[in-house]
Structure 1
């Protein structure tokens, strides 16, 4: 039985229609967050994916020229499983994505183009958790997360990147929240139950990547990972599986 009194993570507000999810690599959204995306698209919300790289450095046994189109195909198939039709790639180099004005400009351009009220990204901090023993985050995730938080403001300021307006991308100050997935200090959650099976299937679409990553059966690996990820905060969300976010209001 769900104990609705045993929750201290409120539901992420659903008072929005469009979201833009910005991450560094193919598969970043599939390690848990896709369950929230499936629920949102079920509710009729529009979600667009923006991948800063094509993940070409992610499989050691494949040359980047071969890997990039493979991982792009896997990402598009993965997105379709959870109701996402639009997937865009920025072509920054996988593994050496740099935080800076070029990255902020590219993300701000996408925000102006798609005009989301909610922007989603991945953990931008140096580690996956608190304390000196926490696993290190990757530079790509840190750069993209930080740039996304900044670009949400850049997109609304006509005097930052004025060249975007010259390209027909008028300022968009309609971003109300940036939601950071996989944060060690979450403030909100989304019920992962309705989208859990599709989240597993979505991760499974990255089969080439998973097979290079582990010797385990891909189906077993995907189900165990997604289930474990969405179970971690259940005791803070009324016993329900959850995708958690640290929310930065705008």
Structure 2
């Protein structure tokens, strides 16, 4: 395909915004993937190119959360190991399904959890108590979360970070800000697995991915800094906004 200046004008600002949102509450793919598609990039190349930009951006935000001590490293590393395997598995499947099916999965596989968050106002606040787990559960539960959502990330993508945050808070009892930090590590691992598969499959437009990555890194840095200063209430508010985009996206596609 031909890449023009218009491609960059469409992709780069939206990828910056996606990085900002994703570093706080996940869901950046809801902004980034449509940007690539709107710029005329085919679905498989859109996913592969987005993974490269997202991977580098997520590395920046993960580093910021770790530096600010907002990550439970043991949980994050086990989740990351599972997410790495899941990301490779999901991306491998994505390469072998039709573009029509891939578009359908992107549009349909988006869940509804806003009602839960609205009715559980103390969900993930700063006073959340981390659950005590047996040594085996402390390994298996984060790894299972990472594996399942890593596979979803590789196959579909949008919303992975948001769902990971909700799992870390709902299942493990972490506050939303710490969950967001752990999710960045898990998301980084799944992105690495996906990038390896898409690069091997020749489905990455590096001429677009590299400038998009710079925008993603800038957005992720600014977003992570904002989240750390704003605390769990800010993360919660952005999660609501991301879920709103999920619902809107589903509704618009159903109307079409």
TM-score normalised by the chain length of structure 2: 0.27
Whose helix proportion is higher, 1 or 2? 2
Which protein, 1 or 2, shows the higher relative CO under an 8 Å CA cutoff with sep ≥ 6? 2
More strand as a share of residues:
1
